[in-house]
Amino acid sequence: MSFDLILPFFTEELRELLLDPSISDLMINGTNGVFADRNGVVEQIGLTQPFTKRTLAGSYRARRAHP
């Protein structure tokens, strides 16, 4: 499966984290717990907008309307 197929389902903020080459592991726990492993150190990432099914659906619809 290609990353290009799933990226539109994520918010811009999460897409940036997924594509960040300094992050070796990205863990999304529920709707507000996002953790990134950078150089063996796990850090919590604060999101500016909550990660919910509604924001995912809205992000996908917006990207399809304006590719």
- Model's pTM, two decimal places? 0.67
The residue with greater pLDDT, 32 or 67, is: 32
Determine the structural domain holding residue 9 and report its residue range: 3-65
State pLDDT tens for residues 5-33: 777 777 788 889 989 999 999 888 766 67
Q: From residue 61, give the alpha-carbon distance in Å to each of 4, 5, 13, 50, 55.
A: 15, 14, 16, 17, 10
Query: Structural domain tally of the chain?
Result: 1
